[in-house]
Homo-oligomer: A and B are copies of this chain.
Amino acid sequence: MPHQMSPEMKRCVENCHDCHDICVQTAQHCLEKGGRHAEASHVRLLLDCAQICHTSGDFMLRGSDLHAMTCGVCAEVCARCAEACERMGDDEMMRRCAEICRRCAASCAQMAGVAVR
């Protein structure tokens, strides 16, 4: 493997992928559900989360020594997205999205060297 990626970093890249993917899908799911699921602030948070996950993943894939900064932001955005999905937790999709966001938040916090929220 290039850049001697540690097992923790490899797992974090995978978590970022999973979180990006579920957030892109959940945004569409929420739009189809409508009501409070489709509130502008909720869909925006899902899009924010998807994008910072992709960006943090790429910083790690490039072997950038700045990845701790993007992972720090990613940990915070994922934690907020998880909370929002938990609050709406009335279907399987929201629960799955919350769970994957939590896992990504934890592994990004580890990469950033910050406490898990």
Residues of A within 8 A of B (CB): 1-3, 13, 17, 21, 24-29, 31-32, 34, 38-40, 43-45, 47-48, 51-52, 54-55, 57-59, 61-64, 66, 69-70, 72-73, 76-77, 80, 93
Contacts and interface: CB of A to CB of B under 8 A. Distances in A.
A66 to B, nearest CB: 6
Contact of A58 (B13, B24, B72): B24
24 contacts: A2-B26, A2-B28, A17-B17, A21-B57, A21-B61, A24-B58, A25-B62, A25-B63, A27-B62, A31-B39, A31-B43, A32-B40, A34-B38, A38-B38, A43-B43, A45-B66, A48-B64, A48-B66, A51-B55, A52-B55, A66-B77, A66-B80, A69-B76, A72-B73
| Stoichiometry (number of copies) | 4
A104 B80 CA distance: 27
A31 B11 CA distance: 25
A71 to B, nearest CB: 10
A67 to B, nearest CB: 9
